[in-house]
Amino acid sequence: MRKIAKLTGIVAVLPLFAFASGSPTDLDSIFRGNEFKLPPLDSTHRVDYRETVQGNQQQGREELYTLQFDAVANFDAAQARRARLQSQTGYSIQMVFDAPFYKLRGGHFRRRSEAEDKARELSLDNISAFVVRVR
């Protein structure tokens, strides 16, 4: 209990030393009008979204799509479903762990329309899938 009383006394006296030292504090600079001011916003600070998208595509960052067949919480069930999907579709099915699910994905497409066409084609064989953008 005595230690707490001593600490409380020390903590109460510390702010007095800051004012007694004569050095200005942050609070003093605000009252003097010396607060930090942001520079004015001009055209160099603005970014056009279309330019960034075109720049990313020109740098070789093409979009890539894949089909996601299922998301399973149990690892053993995901392995069994993966083997079944590989034999039905002919794709190499990858398991991506995104807690708490194991996502089963396969096929790589450069265009979303190609991936959607393949998903429709697989739905005729009673295989449900949806398109996921990978990058």
Number of H helices, E strands in the chain: 5, 4
Task: Tell the CATH topology of 65-133.
Answer: Alpha-Beta Plaits (3.30.70)
Angle CA 98–104–105, to nearest 5: 105
pLDDT at 125: 87
- Where exactly are the structural domains of the chain? 2-31, 65-133
Backbone angles phi, psi at 59, to 5 degrees: -85, 10
**pLDDT per residue of the chain (135 residues) written in tens, 0 to 9:** 565 555 555 555 555 555 555 666 666 666 666 655 666 655 555 555 455 445 555 555 678 999 999 999 999 999 999 999 999 988 888 998 888 899 999 988 999 989 999 999 988 888 899 899 987
User: What's the maximum distance between 2 C-alpha atoms anywhere in the chain?
Assistant: 82
In this prediction the pTM is 0.53
Q: Is 26 helix (H, G, I), strand (E, B) or coil?
A: helix
**pLDDT value of residue 7:** 53
CA 135/CA 117 separation, integer angstroms: 19
- For residue 90, give Cα distances in angstroms to 18, 84, 86, 98, 110: 73, 10, 5, 24, 19
